Amino acid sequence: MIRFVNPEWLVLLVLLPVLVYRYIHRERQKRGSIRFSDLSSLREIQPSLAIRMRHVLIILRCVGLGLLSVALARPQTGREGREILSQGIDIVLALDASSSMEATDLAEKSRLEVSKQVVADFAEGRVNDRLGLVVFAGEAYTQCPLTLDYGVFLGFLNEVRIAEEDWDGTAIGTAIATAVNRLRDSDARSKVIVLLTDGLNNRGEIDPLTAARAAEAVGVRIYTIGVGSEGEILRRMDGGLFGPRNVRVRVEIDEETLKSVAKLTGGRYFRATSEEKLEAIYEEIGEMEKTEIRTRDYVDYDELFASLLVPGLFFVCVEVLLANTRLRRIP
């Protein structure tokens, strides 16, 4: 955007059409002072360079005065900016990638794919919050450290896959401890873990409640989500004499432990038995852990005065120089 600090100087631009009008009028009023009976021989004379350039002076004068008028008005070009004054929340999303997450009881897709999509939607709705991703099965690891680059976060989320057989299991305590470790040195006003699992803690050396106490000690709040339909589900089992087959297995989620973990840290436990419920849960968590964004808009201006003043003076000086030398006229 462009603004003028002293726009009153732009009134001088009105004089330019007046100068042009007077020049044209004066040119038309000129009359020869010597008369000849025959002008045919004079028509063969080629006009000199000075005659051909006789209108250059008025052009230089108008351009120079126009640039000087705009320069005196002090034009400035501005770049709009926004400064975010709010401090965001640090959120680590812990995602179960054990083999049981292959079940398709939430939708036509697996539990893991549904969870990844819901987590992606949750991430895209955040503003000014750092997000991290911890993936766990029989062990836990940091898939994505805390970052404000949501594109990077979504890229890492998309790469999450079901755990291999030798890495299978559900280490909830280890997952909480890993997430707490990522938040331990955070100075955010609010530190949150959102843990999603569909099973029992059956791997890892750290008990979930022990990890939860560590989270409480460093001011981390944990929301736990048990995902999976009630009762029994059909689950694909590989191997066997006749190859892969579907067998009925009971959904086992240690809800008491998940409730205790959430309660101990000031969070909440949720149960998701469908894709719609899982979406609603993340929306509710997003509303509870919402950053109030305060911003300050500003415009950074650059002066254009010199870039117009210098060429303006140049054109005026050239016009004066030519008018008194090469293009000088005899009254």
**What is the structure's pLDDT at 108?**
80
Indicate the pLDDT class of residue 25, thresholds 50, 70 and 90: confident
| 3-class state of residue 190 by DSSP | coil
**What is the structure's pLDDT at 94?**
98
**What is the structure's pLDDT at 48?**
57
**What is the structure's pLDDT at 12?**
86
pLDDT, the chain, mean: 84
What number of other Cβ atoms are within 10 A of residue 235's Cβ? 17
The helix, strand and coil proportions of the chain, stated in percent and rounded to the nearest 5, come to 45, 25, 35
Check whether 207 has a pLDDT greater than 70.
Answer: yes
Instruction: For residues 56-69, give the mean pLDDT.
Output: 86
Compute the distance between CA of residue 116 and CA of residue 93 in angstroms, rounded to an integer.
11
User: pTM score, two decimals?
Assistant: 0.63
pLDDT tens, residue by residue, 81-102: 665 555 678 999 999 999 889 8
What does the longest C-alpha to C-alpha distance in the chain come to? 125
Q: Which one is predicted more confidently, 181 or 251? A: 181
Check whether 4 has a pLDDT greater than 80.
Answer: yes
**What is the structure's pLDDT at 50?**
57
Compute the distance between CA of residue 331 and CA of residue 326 in angstroms, rounded to an integer.
15
Check whether 249 has a pLDDT greater than 70.
Answer: no
Check whether 176 has a pLDDT greater than 90.
Answer: yes
Check whether 157 has a pLDDT greater than 90.
Answer: yes
**What is the structure's pLDDT at 57?**
80
Helix H or strand E segment including 90: strand 90-96
pLDDT tens, residue by residue, 254-290: 899 999 999 999 999 999 999 999 999 999 999 888 7
**All domains of the chain in start order, with CATH:** 2-27+47-80+298-323 (no CATH), 90-288 (3.40.50.410)
Q: Which one is predicted more confidently, 23 or 292? A: 23
Q: Could you tell me which of 294, 300, 242, 318 has the C-alpha nearest to residue 80?
A: 300
**What is the structure's pLDDT at 14?**
87
Taking the C-alpha atoms of 213, 214, 215 and 216 in order, what is their torsion angle to the nearest 10 degrees?
Answer: 50
pLDDT tens, residue by residue, 101-137: 988 888 788 899 999 999 999 999 888 889 999 999 9
Taking the C-alpha atoms of 215, 218, 219 and 221 in order, what is their torsion angle to the nearest 10 degrees?
Answer: -20
High-pLDDT (> 70) share of the chain, %: 79
**What is the structure's pLDDT at 293?**
53
| 190 CB-near residues (< 8 Å, 6+ apart) | 89, 90, 221, 289
pLDDT tens, residue by residue, 284-328: 999 888 766 565 666 777 888 888 888 888 988 888 887 777 766
